Amino acid sequence: MGFSILACLLRLLLVLIAAAAATSPAAAQSRPPSPARILDAALQDYAYRAFARPRTGIVYNATLPGNLTGIAVSAVRLRSGSLRRKGFAGYFQFGVPTGVVVQPYVERVVLVYHDLGNWSDYYYPLTGYTYLAPVLGLLVYDAANLSAVGLQELNVVASGGPISVNFGGNVRTVPAGSAAPRCVVFDLDGMPQFRDLEATDVCSTYRQGHVSIVVNSSEIAPSPPPPGAIAPSIPTPEEIRRRKLKGVENCRQCGWGCHSIGAPGCASAVFGEV
Ligand SMILES: *[C@@H]1O[C@H](CO)[C@@H](O)[C@H](O)[C@H]1NC(C)=O
Ligand SMILES: *[C@@H]1O[C@H](CO)[C@@H](O)[C@H](O)[C@H]1NC(C)=O
Ligand SMILES: *[C@@H]1O[C@H](CO)[C@@H](O)[C@H](O)[C@H]1NC(C)=O
Ligand SMILES: *[C@@H]1O[C@H](CO)[C@@H](O)[C@H](O)[C@H]1NC(C)=O
Ligand SMILES: *[C@@H]1O[C@H](CO)[C@@H](O)[C@H](O)[C@H]1NC(C)=O
């Protein structure tokens, strides 16, 4: 008798624990959405508007409002069966392998691509790290209603292997002796996860979300003086201020491509050692 009461209480306790576990994610979802999630929703809307009379498998670029200049968004509609069997290689920097399954099942999906460009730091601030490449995103939605707004992403399972992200040619170099660059992968909640690079300029992820390449800011080595440079005299405070301003200025102008057009002021401003 006493035993069955105990068993009964134990069962009640388990039910309560299960209920608490089930409600906590819901409680987490009721937090106000982050700026990055608000952006995801806005970009889904702009991406879908790019589909006037969409043809399956054709990539369409979205038109963004002026207050999002610097961000690039594209969208492609695919049959989910084709995505699973064939993947989608060469979607900008993303290589989607075979075996990608969406849940719940829908007949067609839309893959939305983001390049956050100079907005990367703003939407994905990462204290202690410096971005060496723009934050890129790949998000998957149901294609059933191309007028839909506020869509939730589908669940994505990469069962055949990870999605690769090849930043080739768009990664800033760090001076020799700095920490090794690492991949950072953000899930839809914006939680960063650090991973090693798969190869030079290549990251991989099993999830949808955002990806970039970073380096620990405190481990960036001072850049070597340019060949033939004369050892500078000790700069005056005014000289330092002028050089700082010049560095920041160059940086705004050249954005992500600055290393390739060789704006030295930009590199030193970004790496904080003007
Ligand atoms: C779409 O945008 C990409 C950059 O995001 C660009 O390289 C490509 O030329 C654009 N395509 C069209 C058709 O405008
Ligand atoms: C950008 O402007 C549009 C209107 O053109 C507005 O609806 C939107 O909230 C603005 N977005 C941001 C991020 O400021
Ligand atoms: C990104 O660059 C554009 C101009 O190309 C500018 O209008 C925008 O304010 C910049 N964004 C940020 C966050 O600096
Ligand atoms: C960066 O590197 C320094 C020195 O190795 C270390 O103390 C610090 O924790 C690292 N920061 C991050 C954010 O990993
Ligand atoms: C598609 O979405 C729009 C906007 O949410 C809605 O007004 C419309 O009724 C939807 N159409 C269908 C067929 O569900």
Tokens standing for residue 21: 């576990």
CA 172 to chain centre: 16
**Quick one: pLDDT at residue 228?**
59
Q: Strand, coil or helix: what is 152? A: coil
pLDDT attached to residue 11: 52
C-alpha 61 to ligand 1 mean position (Å): 6
> What is the residue-averaged pLDDT of the chain?
80
Structure tokens at 197: 């690079």
Q: What pLDDT score does 23 carry?
A: 44
Give residue 190 CA to ligand 3 midpoint distance, Å: 22
What mean pLDDT comes out for the span 110-124? 98
Res 4: pLDDT: 52
Binned at pLDDT 50, 70 and 90, residue 130 comes out as very high
CA–CA distance, 129 with 135 (Å, rounded to integer): 13
Q: What is the pLDDT of residues 215-239, one digit of tens each?
A: 999 988 887 666 655 554 555 555 5
- Ligand 1 in reach of 61 Cβ (< 6 A): yes
Question: CA 57 to CA 180: how far, in whole Å?
Answer: 37
- For residue 60, the Cα-to-chain-centroid distance in whole angstroms is 20
Of 89-103, 110-124, 161-175, where does mean pLDDT reach its minimum? 161-175
Looking at residue 81, what is its pLDDT? 97
Q: Whose CA is nearest to atom 1 of ligand 2?
A: 67
Q: How far apart are the CA of 92 and the centre of ligand 5, in A?
A: 30
Q: What whole-number distance in Å separates Cα of residue 245 and Cα of residue 251?
A: 10
Reply yes or no on whether the pLDDT at 22 is more than 70: no
Residues of the chain with CATH 2.60.220: 35-218
- CA angle (80 as vertex; 195, 93 as ends), nearest 5: 40
Angle at 203 between CA 137 and CA 29, to 5 degrees: 40
Which pLDDT score, from 0 to 100, does residue 265 have?
Answer: 38
192 Cβ closer than 6 Å to some ligand 4 atom:
no
Nearest CA to ligand 5 atom 5: 148
pLDDT at residue 241, rounded to an integer: 52
Tokens of 240: 């330092």
Structure-model confidence comparison of residues 216 and 53, the more confident one: 216
What is the per-residue pLDDT across 9-18, written as a single tens digit (0 to 9) for each?
Answer: 335 333 333 4
**Ligand 4 centroid to residue 166 C-alpha, Å:** 26
Rounded Cα gap, residues 75 and 68, in angstroms: 17
Q: Which of 74, 111, 113, 115 gets mutated to test ligand 1 (max ligand atoms within 8 A of its CB)?
A: 74
**Is the shortest distance between the CB of 144 and ligand 5 below 6 Å?**
no
Mean pLDDT of 69-81: 98
Ligand 2 pocket by Cβ (under 6 Å):
65, 67
Q: Return the beta strands (E) in the chain as ranges.
A: 59-61, 72-79, 88-91, 94-96, 100-103, 108-115, 129-131, 136-142, 155-158, 163-166, 182-186, 192-195, 202-205, 209-216
Q: Is 165 within 8 Å of 93 (Cβ atoms)?
A: yes
Q: Does 35-218 carry CATH code 3.40.1350?
A: no
Q: What is the pLDDT of residue 252?
A: 39
In this prediction, residue 255 carries a pLDDT of 41
